[in-house]
Each structure stands twice: as structure tokens, then as C-alpha cells.
Structure 1
Amino acid sequence: MIEEAGFSHAGLARRVDQLGLEHGLDLRYDKTSVTRWLRGQQPRGATPALIAEVFTRRLGRRLTAQDLGLDACAPVYAGLEFAETPQEAVDIVASMWRKDNGPQSELRRIAFTPAGLVVPSRDWLIGRTDERVARDGSTLARPDTATGPPSGSATSAAITGAPAPGAPGASPGSPLRGPAPGVPGAPTARSTAGTTGTAPTIGRVPIQSRRPPVAVEPPYTDPARESRPTLRVGRGDIAAIRAVGDLFRALDHAYGGGHARQALVRYLESEAEPMLRGRYGEQIGRALFGAVADLTRLAGWTSFDIAAHGLAQRYFVQALRLSQAAGDRALGGYVLVTMSQQAVHLGHGREAVQLARVAQQGVGTAVPPVVQSLMHAAEARGHGLLGDVRSCTTALVRAERALAAARTGDELPSWARYFDEAQLSDEFAHCYRDLQQWRTAAQHAEKSLRLRSPAYARSRIFCRLVLATARLGMGDLDEACTMATDALRAAGEMRSARSLEYVRDFHRRLTPYRGSPVARAFEETARQAGVI
């Protein structure tokens, strides 16, 4: 594998150290460390997953720690897999729903991983819609009875009589290298002449379709689920899922993501999963995957709003994969826009721009003007964060032109109906705030607040704090603090960590004015509210 990737021992160690820094880890590996790994020493902690990501980036295909012969000790990339089949995608996301439903879910503490954005967005862009998603009698066999246990597993060894990896009599090997060639138990390959010979083992990677998802429960492990009668999914079920999505979207806008997020995840586990594992034809199946993809994206969005950023990222990736099974490129593009918005919030401007551009490239012009507009606006936000005035302005102009081309009565997916003139003005205000063009930012924020419905209470809080920041930049300290205080009180009524982060951002910008009575009054109000 090292030879295939073209790494020296020192080069591999250096790249693992660099990737570790992206995750706040000071690893300090060197060429001696790599030599130890090749001799069989297992790296600890998150390192196996980091090594796998280094090889993934170099070779351009997703590799796991298990593929390299390493123990996956930490779920750094768990949930970020872009599944190869629709049913593998169901297994991954259903496992996430179940784990997320616990009161002390570890998933909510997983860190956001910028490196985990690359492979899913690329696979979505170049991938094709799955040929088949229908589930009838011929597709409901359990994987372990239909195809047998995975080769190389302990179960396989018991059946075939071959020793399992690591068992007495198993062939010697080491991480990154595989079993030693020419010894009993080493894998063999068919030669071009049709004879059997010893296969080269350095650089061999298990067939991707056989790899298990990282840190995800195997499918069909719950006896209670197996005992349920198989559901026949119909159009009424799809309509119900979409209605649930509209309900939770409205709750999120009005009260924050923390208000009903857990109920949404429970619905996905208790209602959506049995449908995905039920019986349906091709047309109903596509619609089902699309409806569940939309709800899974919303589960990610509400997780994002409570600052569970790693969990949100993983829900977004799985929603992206489900949208591909649905054959819904527009929805997939919107998921990427959502990922771009999260990247902006976390300060990753470059990644935000890339995600928005992948979305645009993936959908082309085959989407309504409103959808095109929101994609250009997402790109503009990334440029604004990077301070790129020219690129930001260009993207905003494209967004404005696209929205102007929309017509009353255009058929829109439910997830795009929020994007109107008020929302576009809000995007303008955020961009110009980031570019420190305060007067222009204030004008667009004021316009957005005039047009914005009270139903979008959280968005109004964001915009009021953007306006307060713009007023502060213009030198109007009293007005800025008055606006921010009003927004602070409204944020206290929301279950939204992002709302409080906007308040804290304004508080940080008050640093040069801390001696002012009005600034001290705002700080005291924020402290009493527990925001700072």
C-alpha cells in the first residue's frame, strides 16, 4: 500500500501528523513509527482512522482502517462513509438514528471533520443514480444467508476450516502490508493463463463492496425488528413523511433546532426505518428514499443548531447518499448547500465555496431558479468569509438574477420554499458584514427584517444581530447595543445554540468599547442570561 501511494516512511508520518493537527492532535510521528507499524505494532487512539484518511486522499478511493490491517480504535470517520448500495446506506443511517436516540448519545460529542467533506461530495458528483432500489420478495433475503459471512472473518474461518486473521495458524502479517507472500493462508489470485499462484500482498486492498461500514452496527441485529411483519409502503406513507417534514421544519424555524430534534430522530427510527426495510416498487422506493433523505437532512440541521456539529455533518453525508438513491439531484445539491452553510459557521470558507460549487455543478440548470439562487448565495457566503470581495459580489449578483427569474406559481420542493427575497437580503447582509462593508450590510439587514415573516423567529434573531454588528461598525454604539439586547432576550426563548453564538459574536466585537456604560450594561444582561 505504501508503494502504491508513493510514500516514504517519513512522508507518511508527516502527513499523519498534519492531518492530526486538523483535529487538534499533536501526534509527532516519524519514520521510525511507520517502521513499527509495518512490523505489526498497532497505533493507538484516532491514529488508525487518520492513516486511512491519508491513504484515501492520496489514492482517491475510500479506505478504512480495517482495509489497511489496522484496528479502528476511534470513530473519527464513522458515519462519513458514502455507501456503495442503497441498503448499505439504510444500515448506516439507521444505526445512527438508534444511537442518537439514547439520552447520553456519544454521537453528539463527535467532532466536525473538515477532511470528511471531500469524498462524499466527490462521490455524489461523479456517481450515478442507483439502478434499483425496489424491495420485493427476491431482495429481502438477509445478507448473511444470501451471500455467506465475509471472507476472512472468524465465522468464515469456522466454516471453511481456514484460520481467522490473528488466530493460531493464521498467516503472519502486519498493518499496511497484509499477510506475507508465499506462506500458508496468504491470498491467491488467478493468473491470466488460468492457473493459481501466490498473489502479491503488498498494496492489496479488500474489495470495497465487502468492507463493513466503520463503527456501524451490522444490519438486522435487533430481534424485535426482525419479528415485525414486512410493511408494504404506499403513496400515503410518503405523504405522511413529507407532512412530518413540514411540521418539524416549522418548529425549527420558530423555536430552534433543540425544541423537537429528539422527536424527529425517534420518528425516523420508529417509522422511517421499517418503511425503508419494507416492500416497495421502484417508483415508490425512489420517493421513499427522497422523503427520508429530506428528514435526515433536517435531523442534521437541527443537530447543527444545537452545536452537535460532528453529528450534523454525518447526518448530512447520509442524507446526501439517500438523495442519490432517490435520484433527486436537486435535493442532493441542497444537502451540499446545507453542508456549505455549516462550514461557513465553523469558519471553513474554502470548503464552503467548494461544496456550493459542487452543488451547482451537480444540478446544472435543471432546477428551479429559486434553487439556483440559494446555491449561488451559499457560494457567496463562503467568499465573504474569506474576504474575497470580487468573487462574493459575483456570486451575489448571480443569486439575485436567478431569484428575479422565478415566477409566482413555480413548482418548488418544500425544502426550498423558505428562500425568498427576505432570505436573499439576509444572505447579502451576512456577506457584507463579513466584508466589513457596514452601511451596505445594514441596508440589506433592514430590508430582510421588513420582509421576513414572524414565523422565521430564529432567522430574525440572526438578522437583528447582523444589523447590530453593522451599526456598531458604523459607530452607533447605543443603537447597536439596544438592538443586540432585544435580540438577546429573543434568543433566550429559543432552543438554538447558534442564536447564542450570534450574541457572543456581538459581545466579542464590543471589546474596544468595554469602558462605555451601554456596553457594560449589555455585558451584564448577557451574563445574567448565562450567555457569556
Structure 2
Amino acid sequence: MGRPPLNRQPNHLLAHWMSRGDLSNNRLARLITQRGAEQGITGLGTDESRVRAWLKGAVPREPVPRLLVEVLSAETGMDLTYADVGLPGEAGPAGMRSPWTRTGAIAALSQIIRSELMLPDTRTGPDASDVHIGHELLGPLQEWALARPDEAGQPAPAGGRRIGMSDVEGIRQITSAFRDLDNRHGGVLSRSAVLAQTDTVLSLLRTCTYTEAVGRELFSAAADLGSVAGWMTFDAGRHAAAQRTFVSALHAAAAEGNDRRIGAHILQCMARQMSHLGHVDDALDLVALAQYGARRHLSPATTSMLAALEARFQAILGHTSDSEAAAGRALDAYERVQPGAEEPHMAFFDLPELRATLGMAHQIAAKHVDGAARVRHVRQSTELVLSALADRPEHRQRSKAFDHLGLARTYVAGGEIEGAVQETAQCLQMLGSVQSRRVSDRLGELHAEAEPYAGTHAGTELREQIRTVLTAAE
């Protein structure tokens, strides 16, 4: 019947593809036996009970997994892998060493998107311990800086339709719509929809024909959509899946599009995730990789954004002088930004976003110093975040929630707990329309930061209102 995995869980992916192929347990067993016989393989003993065991998590021995993948691929019309159907094997999950080629990029990203689409909602809890860090993460990504486009154009598959720039523009419009949803409501609600749309776009890459020029734009658009899928997945708290999606989108950006700007954007997304998970050195390395790998292609806004992130990450590490130097570079670069000249994926990085990022750098720096220096950092943080909040576009609801939360943390750093209570209440009022695990995580950090004031009335009120919301969300 096969060996059970160490942590045996139902194989939801296998169940999904059986459903897609309209296969009962008995029919799948018969088709596997039939395909094996066609290849001279006898004595498999595959029957309904064994399929039922696989669905419960048992892993069949070769050659059954190979035959299973072949049968499901034929019945669904999809080019499936072992990982697609929830099995280990030679065609298993794409690792950090995926090839920087067009075919490899499509396969890796498709595999991840399909897998994420099929997982039930009950498995959306944090999985931060499974992310790659340190050299395991940065080593393979170094190749991005040197990767070159893969073979030009796409050979015509049987029956594949021709697509052009109008199709690419449609993908970009869809990507913009999903970004707007993410900004308004967070990634939790729209994640499944963006994953499904990404799967559809990847199907175009696999099955359609296009010219070399269209191919470059098509891969860039697919990589950008993949970055949104990764970002929503990160915002939903699925950290390992988000990282895999980011890496595969980076491969797509390099594979044929050779789009360094999209690549730098994806790397900054990854840097934010690493910082969020406490791997700040890795976050700084990802920023440096983006700065180097896209050095001839960086727009003023991207240059400013990367420097602003560097300022925040240096502040977390307690390097306040380096943080302020990076903040100065961010401000200088932003002065060169020309309205309307930036690419769509950089639309989020406006002046309020820059001020909010630098305001958080000052808020973090305040925790590492005392006396007059602490007062100065608190004052600068307050001024910057208040300015950001006042000028935020109305649709940037999650950003506004972060701004209120950032102000609350700044007030705690300055000992103004009453102000922190008011700003936290403003943030919590927005959580009905904004669903973001990142916001919840930051609320948890504020709860810990307010612990020294737990003996005061305001401190008790602040921590209690956070505890009530986070407990209800569990």
C-alpha cells in the first residue's frame, strides 16, 4: 500500500486533480494498472482501497507515482509534476536552485500557484519557520544579477493561439486591479483570486505563441502579477509559500523579460518579508542585491525606496548613523522623481510612503538611544508619520492602518501612552475592511512594547484592546 509520511496528512492536491479529471477511486486505479500494462509493468495490485489510502496521505512506491502523474496529466490535459499531485519525487517542488530559463520559470511558478490554489483555508496559519534564510536564500539569488534572457520567442505548440501586446496590456490592467484590492482590503480576501488569475496567465505562457518582443513584455507582466500574488500571500501570513512565489516570479522576470526593474521590485518585497520575520541581515542583503543587480535600470523612485528600506533595516540593527545616512540618500533620490514617469509597480511609492518609511526608521532608532537623541527621533517620527497619514490617498486603507499603528508605537517610544491608545483605536476600527496578518503581527509587537506601562490605566487599556482583537482573530 506504500509507506506513510512521517507527518501523515490528507493529500488534498491528489483529490483536486482527481476531481478535475472526473476520476473515481476505482477508475484511477484501473487507468494506472492499464498504463502500467502498456509499459510492461505487471503485478501493481492497484485498487480502490489503495487510492483511498493515498488520499489519506500514504505514499505509493515507484513506479506507481510516475504512472499516477502520467494518468492525471492525460485525464486533465495538464502537464503535472509529482509535487502538483502532492507526492515527493524527482519532479518535486522547485527549490532555490531552479534554472534561470524560460521553461524552468514557467514550470516553477505554475507548480507553486497550483499548489497554493488547492490548499484548504485551514492551512493558512503562519509557517515562518519554513522560509529559507542566510546563504540558503542569498546564494542562489546572486545568480539573478548575472542571469540573461532565455531563448527568443516561443515555438508554436499544436493549436496554440497567437497573442500580442493587447493581451499583455490586459494582464497589466488586471495586475493593477489586484494591487488596488490589496491596498484597500489587504491580501487575505483576494489571495485566491490573484492566484487563479496568475495560473491563467501562466497557461498563456505555456500554450500560446508570441514574438520575441511580445515575449519580453509578457514575461515581465507575468512576473509583476506573480509579485502581487506573492505579496498577498505574505500579507495573509503564508510566509514559505510567499517566498517560493517571489523567487519564481524573479525567475520569470529574468528568464525572457530580463526586466531588472521588476526584479528589483520583487527583491524589495522579499526584503520586507525577511525584516518582518526578524531576519534583518538578510533583508539588507536583498536590498543590496536589488541595488547592484538593477544598477543601470533603477528609476529615481526605486532608488529612493531601496535607500528608505535600508534606513529602516539599519535602524532595527541599532546602526542609527547608517540609518540616517541612508535616509538622506532616499530623500535626495526622491527629488529626482518625475510625476507620471515611473512604472506602474512603483505607483505605491509616493511621498507619503517615503515619509512613513523614514518615520518608522526614526521610531525604531528612538528605542536604541536615550535623552535628547531619543526625543529628537520621536519628534521626527511623529512629524513624518502624521504628514504621511494626512496625504495618503483614500484607497490606501492598509497603509493608513499601518500609519495609525506606527504613530501608536512612536507615542509608546516617547512615553505618551494616551496618544498610543487613541491611534491604536483608529487602527483597530479599520480592521473590518482591512484583513492583513502583517497588521496583526505589528499589533502584537505594540502589545509587547507597551508592557512597561502595564501598571498604568492607559497602558492597561492599550494592551487590553489589542489583546481582545487578536484573541478574536485566532
Partner residue in 2 for 1:522:
462
- 5 Å-filtered alignment, 1:385-464, equals 385-409=316-340, 411-436=341-366, 437-464=377-404
Partner residue in 1 for 2:96:
80
Please, what TM-score do these two structures have when normalized by structure 2?
A: 0.74
Contact 2:93 2:111 in 1 (8 A): no
Partner residue in 2 for 1:113:
132
CA shift for structure 1 position 250: 0.2
CA shift for structure 1 position 416: 0.4
1:366 aligns with 2:289: no
The 2-side partners of 1:128 and 1:73 are apart by 29
The 1-side partners of 2:468 and 2:211 are apart by 57
Partner residue in 1 for 2:176:
246
The 2-side partners of 1:76 and 1:403 are apart by 44
1:468 aligns with 2:408: yes
1:376 aligns with 2:307: yes
Decide which moves more: 360-369 or 285-294: 360-369
Partner residue in 2 for 1:21:
none
Q: What is the aligned-residue identity percentage?
A: 27
3-state SS, counterpart of residue 288 of structure 1: helix
The 2-side partners of 1:95 and 1:507 are apart by 38
3-state SS, counterpart of residue 107 of structure 2: helix
Partner residue in 2 for 1:344:
275
C-alpha change, 1:75 and 1:427, in structure 2 (3 Å) is farther
The 1-side partners of 2:284 and 2:92 are apart by 24
3-state SS, counterpart of residue 162 of structure 2: coil
The 2-side partners of 1:113 and 1:74 are apart by 21
Contact 1:265 1:299 in 2 (8 A): yes
C-alpha change, 1:269 and 1:376, in structure 2 (3 Å) is same
Q: Is there any run of 5+ residues in structure 2 with no aligned partner, and where? A: 1-86, 367-376
Equivalent of 2:417, from 450, 462, 477? Answer: 477
The 2-side partners of 1:447 and 1:333 are apart by 27
Contact 1:333 1:359 in 2 (8 A): yes
Partner amino acid, structure 2, of 1:340: A
Partner amino acid, structure 1, of 2:462: F
The 2-side partners of 1:336 and 1:474 are apart by 33
3-state SS, counterpart of residue 339 of structure 2: coil
1:101 aligns with 2:32: no
3-state SS, counterpart of residue 401 of structure 2: helix
Please, what TM-score do these two structures have when normalized by structure 1?
A: 0.66
The 2-side partners of 1:308 and 1:330 are apart by 25
CA shift for structure 1 position 76: 11
1:328-348 C-alpha deviation (Å, 9 max, x unpaired): 111111111111111111111
The 2-side partners of 1:332 and 1:401 are apart by 23
1:129-178 C-alpha deviation (Å, 9 max, x unpaired): 32x241123xx4xxxxxxxxxxxxxxxxxxxxxxxxxxxxxxxxxxxxxx
Partner residue in 2 for 1:127:
147
C-alpha change, 1:466 and 1:92, in structure 2 (3 Å) is same
1:217-256 C-alpha deviation (Å, 9 max, x unpaired): xxxxxxxxxxx94232211110110000000000000000
Partner amino acid, structure 2, of 1:291: A
Partner amino acid, structure 1, of 2:111: S
1:233 aligns with 2:163: yes
CA shift for structure 1 position 458: 0.6
CA shift for structure 1 position 531: 4.2
Equivalent of 1:284, from 214, 235, 259? Answer: 214
C-alpha change, 1:250 and 1:298, in structure 2 (3 Å) is same
Partner residue in 1 for 2:189:
259
The 1-side partners of 2:93 and 2:326 are apart by 32
CA shift for structure 1 position 454: 1.9
3-state SS, counterpart of residue 435 of structure 1: helix
1:22-78 C-alpha deviation (Å, 9 max, x unpaired): xxxxxxxxxxxxxxxxxxxxxxxxxxxxxxxxxxxxxxxxxxxxxxxxx97999984
Partner amino acid, structure 2, of 1:510: A
Partner residue in 2 for 1:10:
none
The 2-side partners of 1:463 and 1:277 are apart by 44
Partner amino acid, structure 1, of 2:207: R
Corresponding pairs, count: 371
- 5 Å-filtered alignment, 1:129-148, equals 129-130=149-150, 132-137=151-156, 140=157
1:460-518 C-alpha deviation (Å, 9 max, x unpaired): 11111111111122121111111112212212432201111121111111111112222
Contact 1:86 1:133 in 2 (8 A): no
Partner amino acid, structure 2, of 1:248: F
3-state SS, counterpart of residue 495 of structure 1: coil
The 1-side partners of 2:387 and 2:118 are apart by 43
1:296 aligns with 2:312: no
The 2-side partners of 1:122 and 1:281 are apart by 29
C-alpha change, 1:530 and 1:380, in structure 2 (3 Å) is closer
Q: Is there any run of 5+ residues in structure 1 with no aligned partner, and where? A: 1-70, 141-227
Contact 2:362 2:378 in 1 (8 A): yes
CA shift for structure 1 position 381: 2.1
Bigger-Rg structure (1/2): 1
The 1-side partners of 2:161 and 2:95 are apart by 26
Contact 2:359 2:381 in 1 (8 A): yes
